């Protein structure tokens, strides 16, 4: 049955009168006739107001690692609800969750909680600045670390002419220009450039902020040697290595990207998968740095370590640590890649998969990108056109090619079958539309 969005569209017309763009986050607005309003999510599927049932690979940008409404986590959350709310006091469970995080991530010697990834990274940068007594930071082109001023300088690659360096712009109006000078942009996987930046700014750098698998940029992965050099440079120049694991944490491995690469951060941040969707984030790291919290560095918030989120996190992390959930997720991701690859190869469409099978970027060029600039020369317009057809076929991926496909434990055989059938239709429809060109593997 063709997708009917009449109820969602009618709701949009009402919502837009009260909510800017009719939604609660700019990213959720997909146009007045394509914005989706959710009725509920179960497992790996989401049902909208029109009763369209989608296989979901967005998972709320990653959090639902076990699937929506996971009964094990929800039962724990209900127990958390019985605790009674927030008290501006601590509960015992914070320690249990912190101990689990330290067990899974060795660099997480001490732990503080907050509610969103943005809050955790913002606190991490502040702590790094306080610890080093410096203000500047190194940041990678294409990275996303949340919506706070320091993280809102970026290189709008879609506007880049592919000559010289891309412009650095604020991601939003309202970001003070005075915050610009603190950020030093580098390209992923260029160790020489990184060394230059460290050398030139040694007395100003507080922090290197890095997402070794870029969860908002196709899953572009740091090469192991690059991350090793980054670690060494941070040690040499007394710079805090802040590994942002908001998307990779408790997803790409039990110990996150740090376990995959065998690299330890000074500070690291987590959110998303920690609570299977209940709002919680984590700033963790080396004791010598973390002890500055409360000894000169402010950190807190009315809702930090909410009893419901803590209970959900306790159960989610227990499952991720003690069961094969992550193996199941990676295996599904690998099979999904293989199925998509077969469809694309059969049509001679050059492509590659980027990142980790649990959060795959689909890239339309034969060689995977090493940095964000490479994305510009890929055929991302094919992806963008194809994504719209996938939505019509009830497969939810982000409309923008830079967002990876997230897998959860609840993605099963039926999801795979539905996805690959829809993928084939979407690829063919996009090819037939003739409005986009794709690189062919061979003539
Ligand atoms: C790597 C990374 N850091 C930080 C954030 C910000 O997290 P939040 O949206 O929870 O504020 C995100 C969000 O997607 C992220 O992917």
Q: Note the pLDDT tens digit of each residue in 304-361.
A: 999 999 999 999 999 999 999 999 999 999 999 999 999 999 999 999 999 999 999 9
CATH 3.40.640.10 residue ranges for the chain: 71-322
CATH architecture group of domain 6-68+324-433: Alpha-Beta Complex (3.90)
Do the Cβ atoms of 134 and 312 come closer than 8 Å? no
pLDDT tens readout for residues 364-399: 999 999 999 999 988 899 999 999 999 999 999 999
CATH 3.90.1150.10 residue ranges for the chain: 6-68+324-433
pLDDT at 2: 75
Distance separating alpha carbons of residues 361 and 368, to the nearest angstrom:
10
Q: Which of 244, 266, 374, 379 is catalytic?
A: 244
Question: What is the residue with the minimal CA distance to atom 13 of ligand 1?
Answer: 146
pLDDT tens readout for residues 31-90: 999 999 999 999 999 999 999 999 999 999 999 999 999 999 999 999 999 999 899 999
Structure-block tokens of residue 341 = 């690859």
Confidence of residue 266 (pLDDT cuts 50, 70, 90): very high
Highest CATH level, class, for 71-322 = alpha beta
pLDDT tens readout for residues 391-440: 999 999 999 999 999 999 999 999 999 999 999 999 999 999 976 666 66
Q: Which atom of ligand 1 is nearest to the CA of 244?
A: 1
Which residues contact ligand 1 via a Cβ below 6 A? 61, 116-118, 121, 144-146, 211, 215-216, 244, 246-247, 271
Distance separating alpha carbons of residues 290 and 299, to the nearest angstrom:
11
φ/ψ of 31, rounded to 5, equals: 105, 155
> Which of 247, 280, 309 should be mutated for ligand 1, with most atoms under 8 A from CB?
247
User: Residue 191: pLDDT above 60?
Assistant: yes
- pTM score above 0.85: yes
Q: Is 244 a catalytic residue?
A: yes
Average pLDDT, the chain: 96
Q: How many CB atoms lie within 10 A of CB 317?
A: 23
């Amino acid at each position: 049955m063709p997708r009917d969005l009449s109820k969602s569209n009618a709701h949009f017309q009402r919502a837009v009168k009260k909510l800017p763009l009719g939604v609660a986050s700019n990213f959720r607005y997909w146009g007045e006739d394509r914005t989706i309003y959710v009725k509920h999510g179960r497992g790996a599927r989401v049902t909208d107001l029109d009763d369209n049932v989608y296989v979901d690979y967005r998972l709320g940008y990653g959090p639902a690692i076990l699937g929506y409404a996971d009964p094990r986590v929800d039962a724990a959350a209900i127990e958390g609800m019985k605790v009674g709310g927030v008290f501006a006091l601590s509960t015992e469970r914070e320690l249990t969750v912190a101990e689990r995080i330290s067990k899974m991530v060795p660099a997480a010697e001490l732990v503080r909680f907050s509610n969103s990834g943005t809050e955790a990274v913002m606190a991490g940068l502040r702590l790094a600045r306080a610890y080093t007594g410096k203000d500047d930071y190194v940041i990678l082109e294409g990275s996303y670390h949340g919506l706070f001023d320091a993280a809102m300088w970026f290189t709008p690659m879609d506007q880049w002419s592919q000559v010289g360096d891309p412009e650095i712009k604020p991601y939003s109006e309202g970001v003070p220009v005075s915050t610009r000078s603190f950020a030093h942009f580098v390209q992923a996987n260029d160790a020489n450039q990184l060394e230059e930046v460290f050398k030139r700014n040694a007395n100003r750098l507080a922090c290197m902020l890095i997402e070794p698998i870029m969860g908002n940029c196709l899953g572009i992965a740091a090469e192991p040697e690059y991350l090793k050099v980054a670690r060494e440079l941070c040690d040499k120049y007394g710079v805090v290595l802040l590994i942002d694991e908001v998307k990779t944490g408790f997803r790409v491995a039990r110990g996150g990207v740090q376990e995959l690469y065998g690299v330890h951060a000074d500070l690291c941040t987590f959110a998303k998968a920690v609570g299977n969707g209940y709002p919680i984030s984590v700033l963790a790291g080396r004791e010598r740095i973390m002890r500055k919290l409360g000894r000169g560095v402010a950190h807190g918030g009315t809702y930090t370590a909410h009893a419901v989120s803590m209970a959900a996190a306790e159960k989610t992390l227990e499952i991720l640590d003690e069961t094969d959930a992550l193996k199941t997720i990676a295996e599904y991701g690998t099979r999904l890649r293989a199925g998509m690859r077969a469809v694309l190869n059969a049509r001679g469409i050059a492509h590659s998969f980027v990142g980790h099978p649990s959060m795959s970027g689909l890239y339309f060029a034969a060689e995977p990108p090493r940095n964000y600039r490479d994305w510009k020369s890929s055929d991302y317009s094919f992806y963008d056109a194809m994504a719209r057809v996938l939505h019509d076929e009830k497969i939810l991926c982000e409309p923008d090619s830079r967002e990876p496909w997230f897998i959860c434990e609840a993605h099963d055989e039926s999801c795979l079958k539905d996805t690959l059938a829809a993928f084939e239709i979407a690829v063919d429809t996009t090819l037939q539309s003739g409005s986009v060109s794709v690189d062919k593997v061979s003539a």
